[in-house]
Amino acid sequence: MIDYLNGNMVFVKQDKDGLFIRTPALIDSIGSKIDYIKDVIVNDKLIGCLENYQDFLVDRLYNNVYYIDLTTKEIYKYDFGNEPIYGLFCYDDTLYVFTEEKIHFITKHIKTDKVHNFRLKGFDLVNPYTFIILDVSDVPTVCLFSIVELFNFKDDPEYKFHKTTFASVYIPNVWFDY
């Protein structure tokens, strides 16, 4: 996996002994038991892990997010239940968790959230300054935002994302043979 914030490679592996992390600046091992790692994000203060799996016996989707404090080596687990998680982002000591209706802000043992104005189906970093969101409110649309907008959304209770269309993708409902 590539850490887009600094361009370095990040290697995270879960084995029987715990979580093994390796970056150019960090090699560490933390005792943990995370079974199905789907996504990991790392900075100099925390590791955010998304454990994601479907239990077909009880027909339940499990989405567990782990906040791992690199200073104290404490692990905080948050169960999102059936709520799909579309992406993780971290800055300073805050882990941002993107779901269909909300952005959750996790700082160690404190979790808050705020409703955004999308029907979010995807999130990804473009570079250290911008991110994209796949919105499916009307038609599937990719929206481009600054990281500063994300910080304003978190800190200002009145702030709303202003949708700017970067690219639109239309799914045809009629196919023509040429």
Tens of pLDDT along 135-158? 888 778 888 888 999 999 999 999
Q: How many CB atoms lie within 10 A of CB 62?
A: 16
Token reading at 113: 């959230």
pLDDT, position 45 = 87
Distance CA 117, CA 107 (A): 23
8 A C-beta contact, residue 9 and residue 24 = yes
Which pLDDT score, from 0 to 100, does residue 4 have?
45
pLDDT at 114: 96
Q: What's the pLDDT at 29?
A: 62
Count of other CB atoms within 10 angstroms of residue 126: 13
> Could you say which DSSP state residue 29 is in?
E
Residue ranges, the chain, pLDDT below 50:
1-8, 178
pLDDT of residue 178: 46
Q: Which residue, 35, 75, 39, 40, is CA-closest to 55?
A: 35
